[in-house]
Amino acid sequence: MSAVYALFGVTLGGMALLAWRGAGPHSGIINLRCNALALLAAMWLAGDVLLNGPQLSAGGLLYIDSFNVYLVALTAFVGLTTAIFSNPYMAHERELGRLTGRRLRLYHSMYQGFMLAMYVVLTTNNMGVMWVAMEGATLATVLLVSLYRTPESVEAAWKYFILCGVGIAQALFGTVLLFFAAEQKLGVGGDALHWTVLNQNAALLDPAIMSLAFVFLLVGYGTKMGLVPLHNWLPDAHSEGPTPMSAILSGLLLNDALYAVVRCKMLVDGALGTHLAGNLMMGFGLVSFLVAALFLHRQTDIKRLFSYSSIEHMGLMTFAFGVGGPWATFAALFHMTTHSLTKSAIFVTVGHAAQLAGTQRMDRIRGLILTQPAIGWGLLMGTAAIAGFPPFGVFASEFLVLVATMREYPWLTPLLLLGIGLAFAGLFRNVQPMVYGDVPEGQKPIVANLWPVALHLAIVLGLGLAIPAFLGDWFNQATQLITGMAP
Amino acid sequence: MSGLLTLLQTLLFVFSAPLLAGWSKRVKCRLQNRRAPSVLQPYRDLFKLYRKEPIVPYPASWLFRAAPYLIFASTVLAAAIVPLVAVNLQPARIADVIVLVGFFALGRTFQVLAAMDSGTAFGGLGASREMTISSLAEPAMLMAVFTLAMSAHTTNLSQALHYVLDSGVVLRPSFVFALGSLMLVAVAETGRIPVDNPATHLELTMIHEAMILEYSGRWLALIDWASQIKFMLYGVLIANIFFPWGIAQETGWQALGQGIGAIALKLAVLAWLLVLSEALFAKMRIFRVREYLSFAYLLSVLGMLSYIILEAARVHH
Amino acid sequence: MSITDLDLYGQAILLLAGLITLTSFLMLGQSRLPRLVMIFAVQGWLLAAATSLAAAVLDYPHLYVSAAMTLGLKGLLIPILLQRLMLRLGLHREMDTLTHPASVMMGGTSLVIFSYYVSLPVIAHSPLVTLNAIAVSLAVVLLGMLLMITRRQAVAHVVGFMSIENGLFFAAVVATYGMPMVVELGIAFDVLVAAVVFGVFFFQINDSIDSLNVDQLNKLSEVEP
């Protein structure tokens, strides 16, 4: 348990320190070090849980089992690599004059604040506190989306705030209904909102109220996740903010929202016995997957293109969790990892490409591979990875999802294949001219630290070839937890 | 015995209506720091008008001459069925709220037809404005009384009053909304500020006055009296439906005396409130009356919804 | 059970529920911004009164703390903050008139009916009459969303958002005797931070498009020119 407190302490301390000293030249390094310490704490926690089993804190407020400890470790890792990237990138932005010292201070302290909110979402046992932290994550990042103060970014941030705020209010209503259902059967007391207590007594809870609660929770947390038709804020917010912001929003926040939905699904499945929750998730997931794949073709901004790719992958993961069963759940968990790593790597590369070309419009970015091969190759490999090329890990997880769907719902598999194909076409149609086209005049290489990108892509490649034993065990345990069956 | 009491109550109603008008005028003058005429002045005005020779406009038909009597008759009939001092009287069996609204509509129809019959532009103007207002006010009023009817499970006024009396002091949200709605509608239907100014003769602002502009002599007296009775009717409805305590439930002398005292007090307070609002608010422009009455309708719909959602007994399965 | 079976306190809670719905409707129709904020403050006071009554009826002292927090935050702090922002940005003279008030009001009424229909399974299984108010709380949430949809001024959007939170808080009070204290504190903190962030946003939007009419925030769209 002390590992969790260390994690919280480091992040909170980092936030306070950066709020005070974040405008100085060393703020990026401080941010980086905080994230490194957080990663160490997360690894310690993971080891603890893997050896000793699920842990419940005193008072039942925090609960760590294999499902969320793996997400905590992933969050800490991506947070660290993005911080490594963000250090020189933001310093460069400051040199270009696009940011002031005050805004950098806000950026760095809110970066840590966002990480803290996400750790709380992942580790808390109390569904109400989970909601509070999710809303807290929105609040921490909303001012960062409008960091550049252009009219487009202000609009994107406003849209993000309003849409996510209203959406997540629905989730609060769902949480109230959940609490009501629990109090009805378990009596009034503070622990009726604890996930462990709810999970234990799920069969007692009233099915009508639980299904109503799940609808509200799915709509609420689904808005945060970017499920169609609640996704309108996502392309704007992810494309207008600074690149490190896009990386962690796409890579981490969406995962956390999906985690919240899956926790709720576990409760509802226990209460209902029917497949209602799964069907709803499958429906929303499939629609998101197909619609996003279609929208990919219309984009002209490079970051919007990849935001739609995020929506598409989150849709696929929701669909997989909705299908249920050990294969699909294992595939979905695996996909969460690979998508997170690949997407953050892509956004890092895209940020550099945009800096290189001076614009985010895809029709004006050309010849990346000739000007700076590292960026060109990074973009090409990243796109290949996210589109589902073998032998990258994304291919492996998508393949597993397809296999699982073939077993349970064979008539849905053509739709999945269609979506994958459409997304593939959309991505490559746009990326190919960017990487290979003629070099425009005056395009020079920039200072870029592409090690995080290389590291992420290497990991994803490795996962695609062979999942290491400890990771496989981790996923198995989590699958066991979620579905009650081993793959 | 009961028939005699009914007749007495109706006569009391009809003959104390000018008193209420006089009292309102007195309160208004005091608020405006003027010297008020006597409370009995409306009686003198009616008597004066009665003795004057009525004039008929050239294009008018028999309707113009018959209308005042019809208006007065329908208003007196409406007064007969509303419980004033006692609840258990003879007309109780036909004292249905829909019948009441029907009587109002009858009076209004003849008022409007007579106004158009006079052939002047003012008549047509007043008639069209009056119909606009009442087409919006009537649904609001009906919805408000239906809210009462839903609680009491009957549309009969005296049975509804019995029900309210028997349940004691209950804070019902639906009644609060219905009260608000009925007060707004009452102001609109009786032609008071902020909907219509009873003392104006400007073309821009006349509604009720425009319809009776051509009337004189005993016909004008009858119409004025009818509008005073209507004013008292709305006051009695509001007072007795929502605050019925004090009304006589048996026919003993003591109970009846208490009933008279109670209704006199309630009407005095209501008149005071109305005059206060007249002093505080300015008259609205004609096309804003639509928003005002839509708000009254909204209140009564909310009252109905409050009843269904918050108050009604649910059937357990 | 009907309302006559409740004691006076329970009836008062239901009456306050009805009045809270009325304030939501009044906010829908109000075109002047300072008055809109005033009605929102009144809704906060009514909510605090209902919570204190519930604390007295059900004998849960921690609800008094919740009531005090609601009164302080939604009844005083946020309205004062919004009024000061409006004065600074010169918004108190702007009119945000509805284009179709009748349709909006009818839409509001149908939302009330819809929320009653949705809450029927929740209400059916409990003998408490005060639980009927959960339909009212969902109605307040939906009416807050309708307020946000039909308005163009950013201040109206903030008021709508806070009104949604009011409805959710009312739901928690009526259905579950208040959430656990840690959750209540967290939600209050979130609302406070949200209000501060909104304030910062007003200045950013005003600097960027020189007005707070969010219809003019339309540069980002799917249909690229």
Rounded Cα distance, A112 and A286, in Å = 34
> Above 80 in pLDDT, residue B144?
yes
pLDDT at C222: 65
Which subunits sit against B, judged by 3+ Cβ pairs under 8 A? C
Give the highest mean pLDDT range of A18-32, A320-334, B155-169: A320-334
Written as six digits, the tokens of B113 are 């037809």
DSSP C61: T
Q: How confident is the model at residue A486 (pLDDT cuts 50, 70, 90)?
A: low
DSSP chain B: -HHHHHHHHHHHHHHHHHHHHHHHHHHHHHHTT-PPPPTTHHHHHHHHHHTSPP---TT--HHHHHHHHHHHHHHHHHHHHS-SSBSS-GGGGG-BHHHHHHHHHHHHHHHHHHHHHT--HHHHHHHHHHHHHHHHHHHHHHHHHHHHHHHHT--BHHHHHHHHHHH-S---HHHHHHHHHHHHHHHHHTT-TTT--TT---TTT-SHHHHTTT--HHHHHHHHHHHHHHHHHHHHHHHHHHS-TT-BSS--HHHHHHHHHHHHHHHHHHHHHHHHHHHHSPPPPGGGHHHHHHHHHHHHHHHHHHIIIIISPPPP-
* Residue partners of A196: CB distance under 8 A and separation at least 6: A56, A60, A63, A125
Rounded Cα distance, A83 and A247, in Å = 10
pLDDT at B135: 92
* Residue partners of C203: CB distance under 8 A and separation at least 6: C89
Express each pLDDT in A244-271 by its tens digit: 888 888 888 999 999 999 999 988 888 8
Instruction: Return the SS3 of A62.
Output: strand
Residue with more model confidence, B75 or B191: B75
Q: Are A367 and A289 in contact (CB under 8 A)?
A: no
Q: Report CB contact under 8 Å: A212, C214.
A: no
Does some domain include residue B126? Answer: yes
| C contacts of A132 (beta carbons < 8 Å) | 183, 186-187, 189-190
Instruction: Return the SS3 of C79.
Output: helix
User: What total of structural domains would you count in chain B?
Assistant: 1
Give the highest mean pLDDT range of A117-131, A438-452, A473-487: A117-131
pLDDT at B314: 64
Mean pLDDT across the stretch B180-198? Answer: 88
Rounded Cα distance, A79 and A42, in Å = 12
ipTM above 0.85 for this complex: yes
Stated pTM of the model: 0.88
> Above 60 in pLDDT, residue C225?
no
Among residues A320, B281, A300, A337, the alpha carbon closest in space to that of C222 is found at A300
| Interface mutation vs chain C, best among A110, A143, A179, A198, most C CBs within 10 Å | A179
Report the run of H or E that residue C179 belongs to, with start and end: none
| C contacts of A167 (beta carbons < 8 Å) | none
> Above 80 in pLDDT, residue C1?
no
pLDDT at C223: 61
Rounded Cα distance, A248 and A122, in Å = 15
pLDDT at C128: 64
The answer for C 100-119 residues in CB contact with B (under 8 A) is 101-102, 105, 109, 112-113, 116
| Interface mutation vs chain C, best among B174, B298, B304, most C CBs within 10 Å | B298
- How far is residue A101 from each of residues A26, A93, A95, A109, A139, measured CA to CA in Å? 12, 11, 11, 12, 21
**Residue range(s) defining the domain that contains residue B212:** 2-311
> Above 80 in pLDDT, residue A22?
no
* Residue partners of B230: CB distance under 8 A and separation at least 6: B75, B78, B104, B107, B189, B190
pLDDT at C172: 87
Residue with more model confidence, B198 or A44: A44
pLDDT at A27: 80
Neighbours of B33 (CB within 10 A): 6
Mean pLDDT across the stretch A213-223? Answer: 93
> Above 70 in pLDDT, residue C224?
no
Rounded Cα distance, A78 and A71, in Å = 10
Rounded Cα distance, A313 and A393, in Å = 13
pLDDT at B317: 43
Tokens 């590291």 appear where?
A: A455
Express each pLDDT in A185-207 by its tens digit: 777 766 778 888 888 888 888 88
Rounded Cα distance, A312 and A193, in Å = 32
Rounded Cα distance, C98 and C152, in Å = 9
Rounded Cα distance, A312 and A335, in Å = 12
Residue with more model confidence, C162 or A481: C162
Q: In C30-153, which ranges are continuous DSSP H helix?
A: 33-58, 62-70, 78-89, 101-124, 133-150
> Above 50 in pLDDT, residue C47?
yes
Tokens 């503070």 appear where?
A: A190
Quote the minimal CA–CA distance from B171 to chain C in Å.
Answer: 6
Quote the minimal CA–CA distance from C183 to chain A in Å.
Answer: 5
Instruction: Return the SS3 of A126.
Output: strand
Neighbours of A26 (CB within 10 A): 12
Instruction: Kindly report the average pLDDT of chain C as a whole number.
Output: 85
Express each pLDDT in B148-185 by its tens digit: 888 888 888 888 888 888 887 888 888 899 999 999 99
Q: Are B303 and B184 in contact (CB under 8 A)?
A: no
* Residue partners of B22: CB distance under 8 A and separation at least 6: B37, B38, B39, B40, B41, B42, B43
Q: Are B73 and B1 in contact (CB under 8 A)?
A: no
pLDDT at C129: 62
> Above 90 in pLDDT, residue A144?
no
Rounded Cα distance, A344 and B304, in Å = 56
Rounded Cα distance, C160 and C163, in Å = 5
Mean pLDDT across the stretch A153-167? Answer: 90
**A240 touching C, CB under 8 A?**
yes
Q: Are B140 and B296 in contact (CB under 8 A)?
A: yes
The answer for C 111-130 residues in CB contact with A (under 8 A) is 118, 121-122, 125-126
> Above 90 in pLDDT, residue B44?
yes
pLDDT at A261: 93
DSSP A65: -
Instruction: Kindly report the average pLDDT of chain A as a whole number.
Output: 86
User: Which among C122, C126, C157 has CB closest to A177?
Assistant: C122
Rounded Cα distance, A340 and A253, in Å = 10
Q: Report CB contact under 8 Å: A132, C187.
A: yes
pLDDT at B227: 92
Q: How confident is the model at residue A477 (pLDDT cuts 50, 70, 90)?
A: confident
pLDDT at B6: 82
| C contacts of B316 (beta carbons < 8 Å) | 124, 127
